[in-house]
Amino acid sequence: MHLNAIADRTRTHRALLLFGLLGATLLSPVGSLAKLETWRQDTSAAFSKGRRERVVISDGGRVRLGQSSSPVGKLDVEHVWDLARTDQGVIFAATGDAGKVFRRESHDDASWELAFDASDSQAFALTVRADGHVFVGTGPTGQVIDVTDPKHPASRPDPGVQYIWDLAADAKGNIYAATGPTGQLWKLAPDSKWSLELDSKHAHLLCVAIAPDGTVFAGSDGEGLIYRVGPDGKTSVVYDAPQSEVRTLLIAPDGALFAGTATESGGGGGGGSGRASFLLSRDAAPPSGSSPDTSPAQTAAAPDTPTGPGARSGTTSTPSGGSASPRPSSPGDNAVYRIGPDGVPREIFHARALIYALAWQDDRLLIGTGPEGQLYEVRGLGEESAPIARLDNGQILSLLADPQGELFLGAGDPGVVVRLAPGSVARGTLTSDVHDSKLISRFGALTWQAKLPPGTSVAIQVRTGNLGEPDSTWSEWSAEQTDPANSRALVPTGRFVQYRAILSTRDPRVTPELRSVSLRYQTANLPPEITKIDVPDVSASEGTTRQTRLTLRWDVTDPNGDDLNHTLHVRKEGWPDWVRLGDEPLTSSSYEWDTTSMPAGIYRVRVTSTDRPSNNPADALSRDRESEPFVVDHEAPTVTATPRPSSVTVTLKDNLTRLVKAAYALDGGDWTPIFPEDGLFDTPCETIAITLPDLKPGTHVLVVRATDAAGNVGTGDALIEIPASTPARP
């Protein structure tokens, strides 16, 4: 109980000292400081932990101003599957789940007007022919309709076609249709005649694109193949993607083909991975020319889950129009591939998202994805990509680049058309995540690196607090610092810190580019903490070797991570003061003590640890701790042997440790082990009775040897006189 009480008082004293130091630090400037630290952010992963407002972060760790976006009118639809624009600037939108096509004039105050109301539930695809006519492809009866002709003439490639997933028109007025569920590519000639161009082995061809020379490309589900149909009609496979579904194709101005995939997590081959949940099975297909009374596509999807070609909706529909249990989307790792004129494919973008749409604008590739509604840009040959917009809608299903620099996005869940204005917004902010300096700190130099075209600027603000989540107890934001090479964080001391970067431009054609932020700080210097001292317990040994070298160990940490030195002192019970062990400070947390130069007795060791190696002498702090009592024993046990008429009584005694074994030898013979009456050597004092055998008359010598737990051996002896027997009288 006495030793435990000492340990409790030591811990309480240490806690009070630490509390007092922290309290004083909170109420006054930091006096004793530790080594200088730097908090630096210069990667996409670091910047992305913060909160963004009208800024974007590239995968190369560049923070730029974003672009402003706004909805274009109002559409009461679930999905905007496709967008198209005529040479006159009229925009058309193909929608679901009511199969309507809307049109909007080019002036700003124009509203959406109904251009066509299909009998099918889905208007999937749009294309504009060279003569200005706009065509729409539908499902689930697979029709292609001229929207701009007041009579809306419709035709169907084949009775087996149910879905027109995509349309594209060439310079000669031919329209190509990617269809399902038989995976065919059809051509509609200007004379309204259909011809089969490609009959694949897949259930669906989901996208089609036409090169300037008339070469047609089509992407499939199931195995993720990209087919090429040359002007001569010869068919070949351009690329076999690792993903199972090629969802969108785009021909860039330089003639390169871009392909985006939309495979769900775990999706493989087989023609079913990631398809629209409202697809009718082939066995349940409606007859040619009929219009089903109910459409599976009319089942609403759960929010934030993609639907439509190349995606899985929140509900699984049945041919009768009902729905099965909800099945949330889980996008896999998808990519955009560039296939150059040399035919070599190269991955230029990847994300854990479904890639629905591609567009080209201002020397950059734009990528619309789901189910998070993210719009990305890729510059160069994939050297850098960045998210540039995020919609509240779950999927960006279509993209339309306007010659004036605007970008229109068709989205789903619910359906909306969003305009992304050209150029950058005037101002945006990046508020970093909270950095924990671990201890109360003083913050100083604030630097950053940025590319600043004329008319742009970056300013940094800082705030601090002592709670991990910023609240009213935190400091106010500091004044804006505008010199990237010579600024200071003018904030109170605190444990937690956060910065806010303000990006601005007076010219929407250019944007500042923040590349790194660094903040230097010094934490309050706190003393080391000695949490435990391990001292040897020689009484636990079995006396096999002498315990002359004792190993002392201690556990010590420093809150600041400083380098430490240690000194040891020992004191024997009864000594007035401590005696130092060794002349030089120790750097390790253990010590081999040769006790032969010290008297035996009960000792304590005191460990003193200091952070002087990492601090100025005036700032260095130290702590010490005393161990529990332990034994240093080089004294041999005492052995007393007292002869009796037919036995010898042996008394063994040790002043410091328990006895572990004993033996006797008679007249120089072999050693014979002896034991206490209870058979246990468990105390420093033992009494043993040795019964002697019948001895011959004369003098005999008995030697007894005893060993204590520290390995010390003591001996004692006794002379035993056996008188000669007296002859009997006659």
pLDDT in tens, 681-723: 999 999 999 988 888 889 999 999 999 999 999 999 999 988 8
Q: How far apart are CA 181 and CA 185, in angstroms?
A: 11
pLDDT confidence band for 174 (50 / 70 / 90): very high
What does the pLDDT look like over 260-280, one tens digit per residue? 999 988 654 333 333 343 343
What does the pLDDT look like over 214-248, one tens digit per residue? 999 999 999 999 999 999 999 999 999 999 999 99
Asked if pLDDT for residue 65 goes beyond 70, the answer is: yes
Of the ranges 122-131, 269-278, 373-382, the best mean pLDDT one: 122-131
Torsion-angle region of 123 (φ positive above 0: left; ψ -120 to 50: alpha; else: beta): beta
Task: Report the SS3 class of residue 597.
Answer: helix
Task: Please write down the HEC assignment for all residues of 14-83.
Answer: HHHHHHHHHHHHHHCCCCCEEEEEEEEECCHHHHCCCEEECEEECCCCCEEECCCEEECCCCCCCEEEEE
* pLDDT at 429 (0 to 100): 97
Higher pLDDT, residue 564 or 309? 564
CB atoms within 10 A of CB 429: 18
pLDDT confidence band for 293 (50 / 70 / 90): very low
Concatenating the DSSP letter of every residue in 667-728 gives: TT---EEE--TTS---SSEEEEEEEPPP--SEEEEEEEEEEETTS-EEEEEEEEEEPPPPPP
Asked if pLDDT for residue 33 goes beyond 70, the answer is: no
Higher pLDDT, residue 102 or 546? 102
* pLDDT at 723 (0 to 100): 86
* pLDDT at 10 (0 to 100): 40
pLDDT confidence band for 532 (50 / 70 / 90): very high
Helix and strand numbers (H, E) in the chain are 2, 53
Q: How far apart are CA 247 and CA 220, in angstroms?
A: 7
Higher pLDDT, residue 277 or 75? 75
Q: Are 89 and 108 in contact (CB under 8 A)?
A: no
Amino acid, res. 456: T
Q: How far is CA 597 from CA 655, 658, 707, in A?
A: 19, 22, 21
pLDDT confidence band for 18 (50 / 70 / 90): very low
Phi/psi of residue 83, each to 5°?
Answer: -130, 150
* pLDDT at 547 (0 to 100): 87
- Assigned token pair, 428: 């945006």
* pLDDT at 309 (0 to 100): 40
Q: How far apart are CA 208 and CA 181, in angstroms?
A: 16
Q: How far apart are CA 531 and CA 623, in angstroms?
A: 11
Q: How far apart are CA 13 and CA 529, in angstroms?
A: 12
What does the pLDDT look like over 556-590, one tens digit per residue? 999 888 899 999 999 999 999 999 999 899 999 99
Strands, sheet with 345-351, edge to edge from the N-terminal-most edge strand: 246-251, 257-261, 334-339, 345-351
Torsion-angle region of 271 (φ positive above 0: left; ψ -120 to 50: alpha; else: beta): left
Considering only CA atoms, give the Rg of the chain. 44
- Mean pLDDT score, 55-84: 92
* pLDDT at 362 (0 to 100): 85
Strands, sheet with 364-370, edge to edge from the N-terminal-most edge strand: 354-361, 364-370, 374-379, 384-390
* Sign of the CA dihedral running 153, 158, 162, 167: negative
Asked if pLDDT for residue 314 goes beyond 60, the answer is: no
* pLDDT at 672 (0 to 100): 94
What does the pLDDT look like over 617-655, one tens digit per residue? 888 999 999 999 999 999 999 999 999 878 899 999 999
* pLDDT at 394 (0 to 100): 82
- Assigned token pair, 295: 């459409």
What does the pLDDT look like over 590-605, one tens digit per residue? 999 999 999 999 999 9
Could you say which DSSP state residue 481 is in?
B
- Mean pLDDT score, 160-169: 97
Domains belonging to the chain, first-starting first, are 33-65+426-524 (2.60.120), 83-360 (2.120.10.30), 527-632 (2.60.40.10), 638-722 (2.60.40.10)
pLDDT confidence band for 727 (50 / 70 / 90): low
* pLDDT at 384 (0 to 100): 82
Share of the chain above pLDDT 90, in %: 71
Amino acid, res. 626: E
Q: How far apart are CA 88 and CA 128, in angstroms?
A: 12
Residue with tokens 């030089």: 584
- Mean pLDDT score, 335-357: 94
Asked which of 127-141, 227-241, 540-554 is least confident by mean pLDDT, the reply is: 540-554
Asked if pLDDT for residue 23 goes beyond 50, the answer is: no
Closest CA to 366 of 394, 343, 387, 352: 387
Asked if pLDDT for residue 348 goes beyond 90, the answer is: yes
Torsion-angle region of 548 (φ positive above 0: left; ψ -120 to 50: alpha; else: beta): alpha
- Mean pLDDT score, 516-542: 92
* pLDDT at 422 (0 to 100): 86
What does the pLDDT look like over 185-214, one tens digit per residue? 999 999 999 999 999 999 999 999 999 999
Could you say which DSSP state residue 331 is in?
B
Concatenating the DSSP letter of every residue in 262-277 gives: -PBTT--SSS-TT--T
633: which residues sit within 8 A by CB, 6+ positions away? 538, 547, 600, 654, 656, 657, 708, 709, 710, 712
Asked if pLDDT for residue 307 goes beyond 70, the answer is: no
What does the pLDDT look like over 407-431, one tens digit per residue? 999 999 889 999 998 889 999 999 9
Torsion-angle region of 54 (φ positive above 0: left; ψ -120 to 50: alpha; else: beta): left
What does the pLDDT look like over 86-98, one tens digit per residue? 999 999 999 999 9
Of the ranges 105-119, 163-177, 522-536, the best mean pLDDT one: 163-177
- Mean pLDDT score, 669-684: 92
* pLDDT at 266 (0 to 100): 65
Q: How far is CA 172 from CA 130, 135, 146, 189, in A?
A: 7, 15, 17, 9
